[in-house]
Chains A and B, each alone.
Chain A
Amino acid sequence: GAGVSQSPSNKVTEKGKDVELRCDPISGHTALYWYRQSLGQGLEFLIYFQGNSAPDKSGLPSDRFSAERTGGSVSTLTIQRTQQEDSAVYLCASSLEGQQPQHFGDGTRLSIL
């Protein structure tokens, strides 16, 4: 499709397990963002990739969170040793280099049991 694609749409896992969330940005968009949205809340910035520059990781809440972007396109957000407070919707957005607006995917709803 033409939009940002995220997978899986839902993920349920046990506390302590690792999870990987995937984001396929809009073709040609060099900027990619990850946000987290807790129930009934606004979006919280996690990490930002722009072209070949070093990512801005200033929003990652702990060292259990990491993300990579391969080939300047697909990105994976990894959460290690998941905790119940990690339960949230993880949203990915992309945009043209140095431009707005950001276009969002529908997110991955992560539930930690």
Chain B
Amino acid sequence: GESVGLHLPTLSVQEGDNSIINCAYSNSASDYFIWYKQESGKGPQFIIDIRSNMDKRQGQRVTVLLNKTVKHLSLQIAATQPGDSAVYFCAENIYTRQLTFGSGTQLTVLP
């Protein structure tokens, strides 16, 4: 079956640097993509989303880029802070039904 996957399972960055987390998806029919942050013992927390008719969307310190040609999604975090350390999941959706999740990337922010 089609699924969402992540390029790197772990990512370590220095505090203050920018982080880029990548995600590949395989279902060209997906019309909605979302990034979640999950801290230990907590449920996924919504970060930012993007619809397939957009290429880029910005939030507070975060930017999501969507490249439909190569089926690639990325999350950019500006000026990474210790509180950003968590597992980040991308997910895709078709017709507002269930989300298909990738396996996650562990982001560690180094002092």
Contact = CB atoms under 8 A, between A and B. Distances in A.
Contacts, number: 53
Contact of A43 (B41, B42, B44): B44
Interface of B: 4, 32, 34, 36, 41-46, 49, 89, 91, 93, 96-104
A42 B43 contact: no
B45 A102 contact: no
A11 B100 CA distance: 26
Interface residues on A, range: 20 to 34
A99 interface: yes
Interface of A: 4, 31, 33, 35, 40-45, 48, 56, 59, 91, 93, 98-107
A42 B89 contact: yes
Contacts of B104: 40-42
Contacts of A103: 46
